Amino acid sequence: MKQLITDFTNQLSKAIVIGNAYEPSDWSANISNVLISGLGGSGIGGTIAAEVVACEAHVPILTNNGYFIPNFVSINTLFLACSYSGNTEETVSAAKLAHQEGAKVVVISSGGKLKEMASENGWDFIGIPGGQPPRASFGLSFPEVLYALYAHGIISKSFEKELEAAIKLLDVNEVAMQEEAKQVTEMLFGKIPVIYAADGFGGVATRFRQQINENSKMLCWHHVIPEMNHNELVGWRDKNEDLAVVIFRNETDFKNIQARMEINKGTFAEYTDTTVEIWSKGTSDLQRALYLIHLGDWVSFFLGEKKGVDITEVKVIDHLKSELAKL
Q: Which residues are catalytic?
A: 214, 230, 321
- Other C-beta atoms closer than 10 Å to the C-beta of 117 total 20
Alpha-carbon span 214 to 133, nearest angstrom: 10
Alpha-carbon span 110 to 130, nearest angstrom: 5
Angle, CA of 170, 202 and 145, to the nearest 5°: 65
Angle, CA of 262, 267 and 268, to the nearest 5°: 95
Per-residue CA distances from 9 to 14, 27, 77, 240 (Å): 9, 33, 32, 38
| Per-residue three-class SS string for 76-97 | CEEEEEEECCCCCHHHHHHHHH
Asked if 131 and 86 touch (Cβ cutoff 8 Å), the reply is no
Who's near 63: CB < 8 A, 6+ residues apart? 35, 36, 37, 38, 43, 46, 47, 50
Who's near 232: CB < 8 A, 6+ residues apart? 223
Residue 101, phi then psi, degrees to nearest 5 = -90, 0
Alpha-carbon span 122 to 106, nearest angstrom: 10
Asked if 200 and 51 touch (Cβ cutoff 8 Å), the reply is yes
The full length of the chain comes to 327
